[in-house]
Each structure stands twice: as structure tokens, then as C-alpha cells.
Amino acid sequence: MQHCHRHHHRRPITAAAANFKLFINDSTMMITKLLLAFAFCRLIATVGLNMGPTAELPRLGIDGLLSVDPSDVQTASVDFGLMTRNPPLAVLHPASADDVARLIRAEAAAAEEEGEYGGFTVSARGHGHSINGQTQTGNGVVIEMNGGGRRHRRGGERSSPPQPVVSEKEKFVDVWGGELWIDVLKSTLGYGLAPRSWTDYLYLSVGGTLSNGGISGQAFNHGPQISNVHELDVVTGNGEIMKCSNQENPDLFHAVLGGLGQFGIITRARILLEPAPQRVRWIRVLYSNFEAFTRDQEWLISLHAKPENEKFDYVEGFVIVDESLINNWRSSFFSPANPVKISSFNNKPDGGVLYCLEITKNYHESASPTVDQEVEALLKELDYIPESVFTTDLAYVDFLDRVHKAELKLRSKGLWDVPHPWLNLFVPKSRIADFDRGIFKGILGNNTSGPILIYPMNKHKWDPRSSAVVPEDDVFYLVALLRSALDNGEPTQSLEYLSDQNHQILAFCAKEGIKVKQYLPHYTTEREWAEHFGEKWPEFQQRKMKFDPRHILATGQRIFRPFTTVNTAVSR
């Protein structure tokens, strides 16, 4: 093993640069990458880093591990989307917010000492569930916030990110930014408590969803996850650890929530809790008429201010343009031995499309006798296909973790680690019927390659001070096309076909003047980003200069060009 010592620069720098060269695929950027690697090794040598597969930063006081191990680099170079690949120079496994801050301050020191090629970019990665390489960086360090139970050794001591801390009295939990929501749930259930607002998939990091919004079927009632946070600890692009909330450093607090990682790395979040239910009554009903479907969905979310016994706790829905999708991967709601067939209904769908309303009622076992009455009273007001009511009952945890169970099945068949050209749109209520005619009954045809979610949310549940952007209408819909690309010889399931279809959908919306907003947005030019943020764009730019003036954070979003390096992302 070779070591980088203060008085022996030349030999280890050459070895490290050679290692980094193995990860470079774009020959036009090779010199830039090598210069960056050279400068990075200068930094490593300056602080006395041991250049093994995993290494410590003793002179910076970092308790975690800085790794150049090929397996770590490979993991950090891809994401769930599997459409981009961008290997970092190194991967940091932090043990604390101090580790994150010291790394960023080291970047500033390197930039000051080395000039143009002295700095490096920094990107936080939770569970790597981004679609278009948003958590990648080819010119710096990926911070793996999700330790996955991994503990780090420094000297003879062992350290790891802090565990969740629950305040039973005040009903909140303090969690590490890389904590997965499934682990947050496990930590709070022991106190009979749970977060109020969720995402459909729990194997996402707290910092990741709070940087985007965090939505699911509870958002109509409690708002997105960013509306259920009391307080944050954030490491800014200046290397400062700042506590922020509505009262303390509110500008940073609102900037970070929905801020796509542009202003700082969330290292702690204080999440609002509520008493956890024990059971869930899970109901699905079908519609052949889109107007009736959306009218009922909008009525259901209008009940948000009603007492618990007069509303559902979760309202979602999905579109069925392909009969097989009624038994889709999002859940095991219907038994494979008894699949539901569209042809079994007398109501033939208009344009070959059906719509499924998905609703739940939470309850405690002691209150189960009243659940039937509450559900029946609400269902009486809906205009669904009468013979299409399907009901199941399950534990609260099993409902929240429903998508993960489907994931395990897909993994066993080799159908999970495939490209995911997902497209998530917020569509204003006033244009959702036009969207239906042009997309569901038009562009998509009968081939979708994955679930299509559709459900409304109340705009007033979103704090306008946050960085997140939504349509102007008081009610807007999430339309999520969650497709998987398969290399099976079927043209309509290929990555090229599905990506082109996404472009067609966006082009249709632009042509028809449907002012959609992308959720988990992906743009490549400043003009597109300015249009996306609209009236928030000037403030977004000002906050960037305040909290990350060198533009080193979350460069995979491609919003701001870093002042130190050149983006070298490589398409799949």
C-alpha cells in the first residue's frame, strides 16, 4: 500500500491519478479530470490522508471515512434512474455534521491554494433514488449520507451518524439527514407515534425528500413532508453548520426545503409526529368517466378540515390504459390468483381508459366497529362503477411499506435495476381534463411500461416561502409516469421510446399552454430553470450566492455552473 506523506508527493499523486483515469469515459474531458485528481491528491497529501481503499482525515478531525475504493465509487456513480453515469473522485462516509462541514471547508482551502483546479464539488447522496444523476458529481466528493448501519473507525474508537431521538411529550423526532424513512418509522412506533406525511416508498432518505417536497396520499390533508418539519441543521456551501427554523435563520430554512440541495446539506431534521394508527382499511374503486373520477377526488380532498371520522386519511389514484396495470408493481393489493379484469365490468371505458381511486381509513382495533359505517357514508357520495369496490385490511406498517414488498419481487426477477425514465408533473386542476384527452387517451396509447399515478393536492398546504414550486391553481394534480425501460426486444418498452414519449408529453403541454411544473425536475439550461422557478427565480439565485457562493453543491442538478470545475456527466 502506498501512502501520501507531506514529503513524498510525486509518486502517490501519480498512482492516484492513474486510478482516477480508469473511471473517465469522455476523452475530451480527460485532462480536466486528471488535473482535478492531481489537485485533489495535493489536498489529501496536505492533510495527511492515508491513501488506502478507505482513508481517514485525521488532521481535519473527520471521524468518518473518505474512500476511493472502486465499489464505493461505482455505487456513487449511478442512481435509480440508471440513465447517467458520473464517477466521483472520492466518497465520504460521514459520522457527523462536523465531518460534512470540514470537508466543505477543505474544498475552500484547496480552491484558495490551488486556484482554478484546486476546488472540488460536493454532492450529498441518500438512497440514490434520483432519476437523472442529480446526486452525482464527477469533479469532487459524493457524501454518502445513508450509512446503512455502517460504522466508521477512527483510531481505536468507532463512530456513526446519530440515531433518531424521539420526544414523546412534544411529538417530534430528530433524525440524521441520511436516515431512511422506514427507519424513522421504526424508531417512532415504539412510542406509539409516526410522521404525518409520507412518500409512497419508504426507502428514501429524509434529506433527499425534504430537498424535493415529499408527497403521497396524505399531502391533501397534512401537506407535503416539507410542511411537517419544525427545525433543520444544515451545512451550507460556506462550510457552516446552521440551525434553522421559522424563527431562527428562516431564510435558510425555507431555501433548503424543496431547494434541490442547492443551499446546504441537511444533517438533522426535526419531524412532526402524530399518534400512529394500528390498522388501515384500504379501498379501491374504478371509474370509466374521467370527469366523475376527478370530481370525486377533488371532493374528497376538500374534506381536509373535517373531523377524522368524516374523511379519508389517504387519497390517491392511478390510470389504467393497459389492462395488466390494474395489478401493477406498486402493491400486492389484488391477489395474483384472483386478478381483476377490465373486461369483467359492464361499463366499458371511454377511450379504453379506466381510472382507479385509491383511499384508506386509518383506525385502532378498538374502534373497528365504527370503521364500516364511516367508510360506507363516504362511499355513498362517490360516483364509481358500482360493482368495482375492492377492499382489504392490513397493519399500518404493512400499508406504508407496500411498495418495498413489490420491489423485492421485482428484484428477484431482475426487473428492478433497469433504467427508469420517470416523469412527474404537477398539472393545474383547470387543465387536467385537457391533459387526460391529450396524454392518457392520446400519446400513451395502450403501452405504458409502468404505473401512472394521478391525485390532487391542496395548494394552501404548501408553504409559499419554500423553494418548491407548484401551479397557480388552488388545486393541482400529481401525474407520475413511473415507467421502466426493458431491453427485451419490444420497441415500446425501450428507453429510447419511453424517453421520446416523455418529450412528446412535455411538448404537448407547452403547445396547449398547460402550465405544468415538474416534480423532481430535470432541466439542462438556465433559461429552463428560470422558467421552472418563475417569480421565485431571482430569490433562488440570491440565496445561492448567500449560502453556496462557489456553486459547489448538488451540481448534478445542473442549475448553476460551479466556479471550480466543468460538468463531465456521461449519458448511459
Active-site residue, 313 included: no
Rounded Cα gap, residues 2 and 18, in angstroms: 13
User: CA 530 → CA 135, 520, 524, distances in Å?
Assistant: 21, 15, 11
Active-site residue, 129 included: yes
3-class secondary-structure state, position 298? helix
How many whole angstroms from its chain centre is CA 473?
A: 24
What cell was used for 552? 459547489
Rounded Cα gap, residues 31 and 565, in angstroms: 12
Rounded Cα gap, residues 258 and 261, in angstroms: 8
Rounded Cα gap, residues 519 and 471, in angstroms: 11
Residue 300 DSSP class: H
Q: In which residue are the cell numbers 407496500 written?
A: 402
The catalytic residue among 63, 179, 200, 358 is 200
Residue 205 DSSP class: B
Rounded Cα gap, residues 332 and 409, in angstroms: 10
Task: Kindly calculate the radius of gyration of the chain based on its CA atoms and give it in whole angstroms.
Answer: 24
Active-site residue, 69 included: no
Rounded Cα gap, residues 112 and 188, in angstroms: 45
Q: In which residue are the cell numbers 509518486 written?
A: 11
The catalytic residue among 129, 420, 522, 551 is 129
Of 198, 184, 203, which is closest to residue 268 (Cα–Cα)?
A: 184
Rounded Cα gap, residues 414 and 406, in angstroms: 13
Pairing of strands 152-154, 90-93: unpaired
The catalytic residue among 99, 107, 313, 316 is 316
**Amino acid at the residue 341:** K
Q: Which residues are catalytic?
A: 129, 200, 316
